[in-house]
Amino acid sequence: MGSDLSSLAFLVNLLGVNLEELADIGGRLRVQRAVFLLRSLGVEPFMRYDFYLFRSNPYSQSLSKDCYLLALHGPEDVRLDFIEGEILRDFASHSEEWIDVASRIVTLMESHPGARLKDILSLISLSRPRMGREELEGISRELERMRAHYRRPIRRL
């Protein structure tokens, strides 16, 4: 497995996705959403993945291939610099539901560039009735905080 998969292996571990789950659609979907968000936040190791919408979820064919490689060969000795490790730990500390909703916010904002955030959050609230407006706005604010914080180059060891 190439060293370019170190960041992915580290993230998969932080998300609690085991190698068997990477071969399953559910595990890959969690990873796809997470990497999509990290890419949209400008985290360098994940900028190489291109995404498109597939069944209303972000999907990257090259990321899927890397997940299969990771599942096939197992984790390697992961070496990340301190900043990258902290960014990925901070990101992975959010719940699966948070990552799902955040990826929907970003997907809708990117696919409808003229849309107002208020309208995007209203649309998402229709599919998440138990989530209040304040919680959705909090996720949006957290995304902005992360975007400002994460947009710095990451050095490899």
Report yes or no on 19 lying in a domain: yes
- Domain membership of residue 49 (yes or no) is yes
Which of 99, 120, 93, 82 lies closest to 41, judged by CA? 99
For residue range 54-98, what is the model confidence (pLDDT) as tens digits?
877 789 999 999 888 888 776 665 566 666 677 788 778 888 888
What does the alpha-carbon distance between residue 59 and residue 49 come to, in Å, rounded to a whole number?
Answer: 9
**Domain assignment present for 157:** no
Inter-residue contact 68 to 22 (CB < 8 Å): yes
- Sorted by sequence, the CB contacts under 8 Å of residue 82 that are 6+ apart come out as none
Q: Does residue 155 lie in a domain region?
A: no
Number of domains in the chain: 1
Its domain, for residue 13, covers 3-150
Which residues of the chain are under the pLDDT cut of 70? 1-4, 74-84, 149-157
Q: Specify whether the CB–CB gap between 70 and 22 falls below 8 A.
A: yes
Q: Is residue 156 part of a domain?
A: no
Residue 52 sits at φ, ψ, to 5 deg, of -140, 165
pTM of the model: 0.73
